[in-house]
Chains A and B, each alone.
Chain A
Amino acid sequence: MDEVLAARELSAGYRGRIAVRGIDLSLRRGDILGLLGANGSGKSTLIRAVTGQIPLIGGSVAIDGIDLAASPERAKTGFGLAIEPHELPAPLSGRQYIELVASIRGCAPSDLRSGDLPSGDLLERLGLGRWIDRPIAEYSLGTRAKAAIVAALLGRPPLLIFDETLNGLDPVAAWEVKRVIAALCASGRHAVIVSTHVVEAVPALCNRAVLMVDGSLSRSWDAAQLAEAGRVPGAFEESVMQALRMRAAA
């Protein structure tokens, strides 16, 4: 099955208050979706709904063909979420956290290398090697983000979700992670959602993008539009700003 994420008429929120509504989103293997939007636009709520952290008020979510509400545990094998850095288990070391996730996913903690990934030890390439046996409480924001990314890749789930995780990375680690994402999606076995505020990074990394405004999808860009916008410096940012201005005027 090509479709790894199917959200239909999704509405979700907190304690009965709707924060995102009427979301229709479909992701196929090979897609890298850039999820854009201002603070409070509903990006994180959408990701929480898609990953089963908050209940759906309406609609449905299927991960790799499995309905999230009907079989949450089975559906959750279909995605790897890079947890927000402050939510990582601070007392555990990075290695223990990776072992914890690997034991839940039923794979080896070293199950990171595959034909889909660039060669070399990912921990070392991300600069995580010297921190791996220290408690996560001692990590900087960026180092925590690296541990979260490595854990998300474990077991090679078909859908990878990065919720503003790339924002805290140093340039070398950010470049390595982008290379990994591109390689995984090029293999045709994975799809990726990257939620980010770094608008200018989207055309180079993603082949699809959507803009969220006030809890709904306001505009989307396909691969051709992103490639076109990526040719002229600042063109994609201008396109996003124009969409935001039009929405504000409406």
Chain B
Amino acid sequence: MRHDRLVLILLWRELVAGLRAMRRRDLAWIALGGGGLLAYAVADIVVALRAAAPKLLHDQLLWMLGLPIIFAVLGCLAGNSMSRLCLSRAFAPFLKALPLVSAERRRMAGVGAFALGFPLMLMIAMSVGFACAVIGKPLAPVWGLGAAILFALGFGTTTLWRLQRPRFLLDEAASEAAPVGKPWLRRLDRARPSWLSSWAWRLPAGHVRPSWKLAAAGLLLALGAVLGGWASLAGRTAAPAAVAGLAGGILVFMLSLRCQPLGSPVLRTAPIGFTRVWLRLVRLPLQLSLAFFLLPAGAALAAEPSAWAVPVAGGLWLLVLNAAYAVFGAYFLNAPFVAMLSFAGALAYAGYETLEYGRTVLIGLAALVFFLWHRTRQRYRNG
């Protein structure tokens, strides 16, 4: 008996169960609101593409290098997430007792990942082909096909690499229970309520696990800070370091904020309010974010002392953006990646519309943040 479609069936059942668990009113809001927003976004993009067509058509760097890299990277990211999703289902604990060898489970995951990747590839081909037709690019379908092939190459390579190494995924899960590494967080995490950050970061008994991911992220962020500082000092201008500090600071905050304890009955049945728990969860990521910000901000101040307002404004914007993301993080408490995407999407969209309609759009963004805060607080109190 072959089980190739088992992963797909499991994912389908999860999707159906998730949709059934939602209220019809919420589903209707998502379908109508999301559909309306999508239609508006498509119309807006078409108008923007038409306006920028002459410039886009003659940008050789974009067509020869920029877009190919973007689609290959998109394919890699999609392949990584889809293969992770399918491997986690193929190696699910409740399937452990079944007589399925590892190769068979990997094949199940592979079938699932490629079945999910195919519609994504079609969407890429159609979107690029449509965009090329809108700006009047010759051979629009060929460009669409080319983009889909690049996406598929990135997707396929990453998926096959992941499928060859399912142990990576399993080792990550197993290491959550093993207290290795140094208990560095013990001193920092004793503030009341104690151990909330260890819990949020899933650090076994407060032990920080050294890992290549942590090292790579630290190295990249340090490199960004040093480059920003160097650019400011070399050019005697505060702006590059202030921008590096702001961008790096929000990135550190987004990568380190985890809010899943907000959904636990341990806190929801305890005599502690939502705001106190939320502030406590935000505390350590905020400290990390500000600690990162200080180095480039110091460089900005040293490079151009008279422009002290630039790093100060950067710091204030960092606090505002961190607070806004903390609300997104709490709302999407079990899906930090979705929170990051949603926040980045909301910021990008608000920024884009600000160009057209002015800063009043920011009021809409603020209203969205307050609405998410209200819903999250209600969910904490009432389930």
Contact = CB atoms under 8 A, between A and B. Distances in A.
Contacts of B177: 90-91, 135, 137-138
Interface majority SS on A: helix, strand, loop or mixed? mixed
Q: Shortest 4 CB-CB distances between A and B: which pairs?
A: A137-B177, A55-B382, A76-B271, A77-B271
A152 to B, nearest CB: 10
Interface string B229-267: 000000000000000000000000000000001001111
A89 B265 contact: no
Contacts of A96: 194-195, 198, 205-206
Contacts of A105: 270-271
A83 interface: yes
Interface of A: 15-16, 48, 51-55, 72-74, 76-77, 79, 81, 83-84, 87-93, 96-97, 99-105, 133-135, 137-138
A143 to B, nearest CB: 14
B103 interface: no
A89 B261 contact: yes
A72 B381 contact: yes
Interface majority SS on B: helix, strand, loop or mixed? loop
A100 B205 CA distance: 12
A72 B196 CA distance: 21
A81 B21 CA distance: 26
A15 B21 contact: yes
Contact of A103 (B23, B192, B202): B192
Interface of B: 21, 23, 176-179, 192-196, 198-199, 201-206, 261, 264-273, 381-383
Nearest to A72: B381
Contacts of A138: 177
B205 A92 contact: yes
A99 B266 contact: no
A88 B192 contact: no
Contacts of A90: 176-177, 202
A62 to B, nearest CB: 15
Contacts of B202: 90-91
27 contacts: A15-B21, A48-B383, A52-B381, A53-B268, A53-B383, A54-B383, A55-B382, A73-B272, A73-B273, A76-B269, A77-B271, A83-B265, A83-B266, A84-B265, A88-B266, A89-B266, A91-B198, A91-B199, A92-B198, A92-B199, A96-B195, A96-B198, A96-B205, A99-B195, A100-B195, A133-B205, A135-B177
